[in-house]
Structure 1
């Protein structure tokens, strides 16, 4: 109720009604600590919700790829496990509810990605296995000024100019990520740490942008899996200016098949747009 007082005839307060804030003042430190904990819990719950959303989206997209590609495996069991986890999400979940669910979904996402990678590897990871593995292990952000391709295993005197083969030589992963920042959000756990992560992100983006599986597979066959994934990253970066991502990718693939397309100019333009100075790039 309201706070008010009854005064006597001489103006002194005779009777006072209401409540005192003194107890709140005495417990102010405790209240501040409770408020800080409540804010921390709110931020943690928000983070868990975001992780949950990303996991659900990634797993659903990866399973779509499996279904579209008709890859052999017991994917029905995976789908059922995914459905069970999603259905177990309660309404208005708290931190204690989401923590184990997010952990289980992240494990499932990793398992699905690994199984998909095993089935896709014979088709996608073309070329010398030692060269590919060494490139993945040694890839690191390169100087933007250099913007150089990965070196071939053949000695210079044995290299024969081949426009199509040149199209398949990948650029440094660090360069691609500096030019194409958006693709990182679609990698496992919202990060791209390797070519494998970039390929997984590219598959997710491919589905999101409505690029047909056959168009992406053609790009992998012609450009190589690393450059096809890099091309998808470039398309995502310019998605607002491209009417049909699938048609655009098919056009790039057709030019690459004739040796008339290179990722270099696209990456250079995106690097400049992102504020990186690029010099010495042909």
Structure 2
């Protein structure tokens, strides 16, 4: 005599491990707490959309009974009506959730899911799914989320460094082509093209091993080539000879410090160095004292590179706003970017592009530098 198949589930290690999980003695779990643990599990395990839908509906079925296990017993037809998925997808999703140790199948003798009631009609037990592992493993979900956040931060810094090196290499190659066209750039440009092809987009995942180091090496090579081409500013011979006695001061022709700024760009009171230092303490990265307008312009020109903004962005800002307001815009963006990173929100993902956008909004009178600086200073003093 053959024994007919009962249609039971295959035993797995994950199912046995999940059965050992239990709630604390006397612990009652609300639907809100279970839902929060479920959402953390979805994010930590990066569940597929179908699994998320099914898990969310299972959690929603929890009736907050005062039991030692979190039991629910929805039918497949109910899950189909709630999720919009077909029954085959529902069965595969339930199987996957069981194999991942998120839920435990508690099967009845006939394979149906139903509640068990006493003589008074009170539900005392049920056959269906046990959601206890979702809540019992909430500490594990939180650890995984922290680990994923740290990994995202590391990847972000790597991509930021690649962006900085790429733009610096572009600028060095462009400068070589402009100032020293006779220098052979073939190898450097070939390396640049190869690295561009190997570097993935930010949304595609981690940077392949060695790509970041290759970009850093390329930046050093291109900048060193440009430096060597110009002799580092030394070793030049004077082309023109002045054999006569000078009739004018030797300092003639050298701009004074204040002549770096046009007279029409003298900073008004609301853009004074004092206000800028109070509103944008990040200007301390410049490493030089800020005493007057020329210092503001010098700091803005210097810190522009720290944003990863191309030289063309600086030239555009100077053409549209003037040197003073362009420099103040740089300091404003540097401070906003530092505040954004410190807060952990990371909303400014491309500070160089953000600088271009701020410049254009200032030009279109959508941003008032005076209002922004006063607001930033007020927030720091409050």
Normalising by structure 2, we get a TM-score of 0.38
Normalising by structure 1, we get a TM-score of 0.49
**Which structure shows the higher helix fraction?**
1
